[in-house]
Amino acid sequence: MTEPLSLSPFNLAPDDIAWVRATLARLSSTQKIGQLFNFATFGNDQQPIRALNRLQPGGMHRFMGPDLADGWRATRLALEENEVPLLISGDIEGGNTSFPFITPLPNQMGVAACADLDLTSRLAAVVAAECRALGFNWSYTPVVDLNHAFRSAVVGTRSFGSDVTTVREQSLAYIRELQRHGVAATAKHWPGEGYDDRDQHLATTINPLSMAQWEASFGAIYRAVIDAGVMSVMSAHIALPAWIRHKRGHSAPQREDFQPASTSALLTRELLRDELGFNGLVVSDATTMAGIVSWAERKELVPSVIENGCDMFLFSRTPEQDVQFMLDGLRSGALSEQRLEQAVTRVLALKAALGLHRKSLDERLPPLAETERCLRAPTHQALARQMAAQSITLVKDTEQLLPLRPERHRRVVLVRQPFKAFFPGSPEPSVEPLLASLRAEGFELREFDTSQPPSRDNADLMLYLVGNEATPTASHIYLDWYALHGDIRGAMTRYWRDLPCLMISFGQPYFLYDAPGVPAYINTYSCVEPVQEALLHKLLGREAFTGVSPVDAFCGQEAARF
């Protein structure tokens, strides 16, 4: 593999290639096996990190706890105790998937709603700076999926939208800037998610496109990001039956048609590597998901992920056991020596491409004081405010309800959907800052109460606050009218012919499908504080709405426009 290491995306110089070769040569088989694993660490407890360090992994994925100093010390420990420098990865996706101590940037759909590639590049530079300040050298972003099946709760706000050109151009701007600032990007989720409304966390999902359709959409996106030098691709638990049937020459359904890409040599080695020419590192999606664990026994799955084309194995509930399964696979031949060498070479090549072998510990994780100065820096927060203001999208206002005025809409009845955190350690979503600001402006707010139903005698405005961001394991997006209105009769009641009504989604942009008749509807894509601050000004008419919807917020329902 000497020649490919000098080519994109690694672009290694002779000295870097020599380090990769020398490091590979001195690793035992057990140590090579360790390099295949990227283990998850939850919170800031140092004991689990010490236990994982004993396995000499290639990487650690940090779900940091809420205390910055404790998190910094835990990451420092991981780096100190590994002779071969670690890849430190994270899902740095913006919105409420982030940590509470970093700049509250918009998620990818909010970014796309700004419709400004320069802002996307500037955001990626901020993400890279704060990643490096926390010790991250590898981000599992961007999501290059297409929002087609709008009921899917797992894609939604994590993607740049439903338009191929938009997703491609946004992804390219993000990847180039992130990697220019020293953090490896990851295009996910191979071979393309968003056309199955299910969630690979819960089941192996299916990309149903024909190969012609796939080439015109996901194929075009992946070819572009590969040409741009994306360093890694995440092979997910998603099947692409059209490619399998094309290669095998059969038309009647076979079980192999529905094999997840993470375990499929045809999808990862032949389509991604051979057809598209990807030379970088392939990491599996999390191997704790139902989309893979339901496919075969664990002892078979573990070596098959690497043998069939992935270079790194992501996450484990039983790390020692999975390492042993990988060793057993090597001894039995389920994992070939050739694939082991290829995979570890690419793991080391990514480390060399990031310059980790030349960097001191302080260069890989700055002293805590430097970290604190970087996070939420004034320029970073200014960008977050600018993008929040630019992204908020007024989808419809058929009765000219806006702007809100205390003298006309003083008595406000709130109807709220519970908000959920995305990942362990992510901030708990809350719209309390917005509500406090509305009260300060002179609005009187009360919660919806079935014993005191809203009417013109006791209310001036119904304000629906709904919408989580894209959420793994949530299955599907929908408005639960029973929960919103309290009982079965309430679920069938609509108030917007009796009272002014405004619905605001702070996450998924598709709720008009279940509320097509609501007269006024806004998508903010997340509820991070800069979004709430900007939303207040727009609700009160102090700023114009400028967001451009990256998806069809009407969900194909023409009636919802009226």
Centroid of chain to Cα 36: 22
CB 364 within 8 A of CB 182: no
| pLDDT of residue 316 exceeding 90 | yes
CA–CA distance, 432 with 436 (Å, rounded to integer): 6
Query: Would you name the residues annotated as active-site residues?
Result: 285
SS3 521: strand
Q: Tell me, what amino acid is at 39?
A: F
- Residue recorded with tokens 């990491």: 283
- Which 8-state DSSP code applies to residue 292? H
Dump pLDDT digits (tens) for 416-453: 998 887 666 677 889 999 999 999 999 999 999 999 99
Contact status, residue 327 vs residue 52, Cβ threshold 8 Å: no
pLDDT value for 424: 63
Bridge-partner residues for 235, per DSSP?
190, 284
28-46: average pLDDT: 97
Residue spans per domain, the chain: 378-561
Q: Give the tens place of pLDDT for each residue, 216-244.
A: 999 999 999 999 999 999 999 999 999 99
Please give the DSSP secondary-structure letter assigned to residue 561. Answer: G
Q: How confident is the model at residue 1 (pLDDT cuts 50, 70, 90)?
A: low
Three-state DSSP at 61 gives strand
**pLDDT interval class at 3 (50, 70, 90):** low
Superfamily of domain 378-561: Glycoside hydrolase family 3 C-terminal domain (3.40.50.1700)
Span 174-197, average pLDDT: 98
User: What are 330-382's pLDDT values in tens digits?
Assistant: 999 999 999 999 999 999 999 999 999 999 999 999 999 999 999 999 999 99
pLDDT of residue 57 exceeding 80: yes
SS3 261: helix
Q: For residue 436, how many other CB atoms are within 10 A of its CB?
A: 13
Identify whether the C-beta of residue 98 lies closer than 8 Å to the C-beta of residue 376. no
Residue 553 has a pLDDT of: 98
Q: Beta 281-284 vs 461-466: how paired, if at all?
A: unpaired
Quick count: other Cβ atoms within 10 Å of Cβ 227? 12
- 146 pLDDT band (50/70/90 cuts)? very high
pLDDT at residue 284 is higher than 70? yes
